[in-house]
Chain A
Amino acid sequence: MKTMISLLKREFWEHKGMLLWTPLSVAAAMICVFIVPFLYGSKLISAHTISRVGRMKDHTQQVGDALANTYMFSSGPLLAVMTIIIFFYCLACLHDDRRDRSILFWKSLPVSDFQTVLSKLLVASLLIPLIFLTIATVMSLCMLMIVSIAFSTQEVFIFKDLLANEKLYLSPLLIIGILPVYILWALPSLCWLMLVSSWARSKVFLWAVGIPLLIVLLIGMLKQLMFQDTEMQWFVDLILGRGIGGLIPGAWLRFEDIPLSTYFPSSRKDFSWGQIFMTSWQTLSSLQLWIGVLVAACMFYLTVRLRRWREAA
């Protein structure tokens, strides 16, 4: 346990820029951009919008409810950044120390290769999402505050209704509650990238993306030559989607053919994080999810074996 904590700390020290400063800067930049129109007030915001806000005066409860329900949408860009960060973290985590030969230092200490690889998987699957979701929540709350303050300048006071609305508190909790589902669906992609990271002597990115692309290309050729009528899209989804795309939050919608409208109903009022939470957890009954987890476990085992014998590049 003590060893694992040290290993996790080690990852955090090494990748502080990726793990902390990147999400903080993105969040800060988003708040800065978001605040601009409000600072300049009527010069940038049309009179039409202002009058619309003014008309909300008598419906503060509905306005508060809509905002409490949807304010977490602003974390979308941060989650996109998170996907990219996880991708590159996984690719680098077992390769960089082989490249600069510092693996020989790490290997001079009584830490098993299983512990090392596990610590890196924990960072990619748990630590990075938790950091990003925390920062995303704080950022979304800040933006909500900005909107509320702007409303109050038009004498629309929604603070009381907002604070009394349980959705304000539930939204981030429900999103974090989906994290286990995300991890399970992302495991094949995480383990594939880490496998390449511990296997490739150089050009990890090319190998990680190139191999799935090549397979898809070859299958595409085969289809053209032989089975023109066969539907091959599922195979492309399997290789590219599950192999790499699993890192994208919500990718299980596509894997499980869940229509997007169950998540985002046409009427915004019907949107509910609880619904997303429920449908996400329901995908746990999917067989392909657990086959993916099994494949991931095999790749994890291979990664540990490679880490054991791979010498410095």
Chain B
Amino acid sequence: MTSAENSSVSSVISARGISKQYGKQRVLDDISFEIAPGRIVGLIGPNGSGKTTTLKAILGLANFDGEMQVLGLDPRTQRDALMNDVCFIADVAILPRWIKVKQAIDFVAGVHPKFNRAKAEKYLANTKLTPDMKVRAMSKGMIVQLHLALVMAIDAKLLVLDEPTLGLDILYRKQFYQNLLEDYFDENKTIIITTHQVEEVEHILSDLIFINEGKIVLETSMEKMAGRFVEVMVAPENFEKAIALQPIDQRAVFGKMVMLFDGVAQELLDSLGETRIPGVADLFVASMKGIAK
């Protein structure tokens, strides 16, 4: 009892038994998860897996069944208070097309108690954006820069990014995450990111949640993941032995078998061949085929 209460206080997000149905289709099927402060969580799943629905539930944009506390508040009924401490970029290019840079800053400064105008202006000074520029006249990359400048100047406790770099070219994508990490993130903040481009975020994530068909397939921290999953370049002579250890996935690379193992002792695997920590993308592909939670 007490431990449950404690966990809900210390968690930024605590979700229990969240379900959501659109018509007959079940988009979220009884999912539960906890997110602690100071983490950067990757919410990863294929199209239509329920990622965006989960984020919408967290942000109080969509109704759902189950129990959810975000910063100790229920996003369904206490959304207005919640938005003081939560920020999100729902998608690229959703800033209103008519707004000018200076109007966007004025507006956010006018409605958000935790907005630091100087910080936003400092960030914008490093871009090609000018105060009188309208969103209409901006490239996708510039819109993201403006949005990021606004968001980074808000001292929020939780930042939610839904495919923040979709459709951006590579220069902006790299810059986006670099800015986020260097100028924004600290131990009091929590970031949730959904993305298709796993490779891009893998080095900044501290936690992973894989979601497929409305269910959580894997929930782990990066440290735990490194301890649990091992990828082995199996030497041909050890093939039979390796199969006996039940790899969760295997693929051929340059004539050698690469196998992914879940929770097999490291010493045992070392004897099979060269070992390494798997990439998130490989783990994701394997997990979509089904692994034990």
Contacts and interface: CB of A to CB of B under 8 A. Distances in A.
Q: Which of A5, A100, A311 gathers the greatest number of chain B CB atoms within 10 Å? A: A100
Contact of A2 (B56, B103, B110): B110
B84 interface: yes
B4 interface: no
B9 interface: no
B107 A100 contact: no
- Which of A5, A6, A105, A109 is packed against the most chain B CB atoms within 10 Å? A105
Interface residues of B, number: 30
Interface stretch (B86-94, B173-181, B196-204): B86-94
A311 B59 CA distance: 12
B96 interface: yes
Q: Which of B62, B84, B89, B90 has the most CB of A within 10 A?
A: B90
A13 B91 contact: no
Contacts, number: 72
B222 interface: no
A15 to B, nearest CB: 9
A97 B112 contact: no
A106 B104 CA distance: 11
Given A3-B111, A14-B96, A101-B94, A107 B61 contact: yes
Contacts of A13: 98-100, 103
Contacts of B108: 109
B277 to A, nearest CB: 35
Given A2-B110, A7-B111, A9-B110, A311 B61 contact: yes
A228 interface: no
A251 to B, nearest CB: 32
A111 interface: yes
Interface in B126-181: 147
Interface string A1-20: 01101110110011000000
A104 B91 contact: yes
Contacts of B89: 108
B234 to A, nearest CB: 47
Contact of A6 (B97, B107, B147): B107
A10 B111 CA distance: 11
A108 B87 contact: yes
9 contacts: A6-B110, A104-B61, A104-B90, A108-B87, A109-B83, A109-B111, A110-B111, A111-B83, A111-B111
Interface of A: 2-3, 5-7, 9-10, 13-14, 97, 100-102, 104-112, 308-309, 311
The 5 closest A-B pairs by CB, nearest first: A6-B110, A104-B90, A102-B96, A110-B83, A112-B80
Interface of B: 56, 59, 61-63, 79-80, 83-84, 87-91, 94-100, 103, 106-108, 110-113, 147
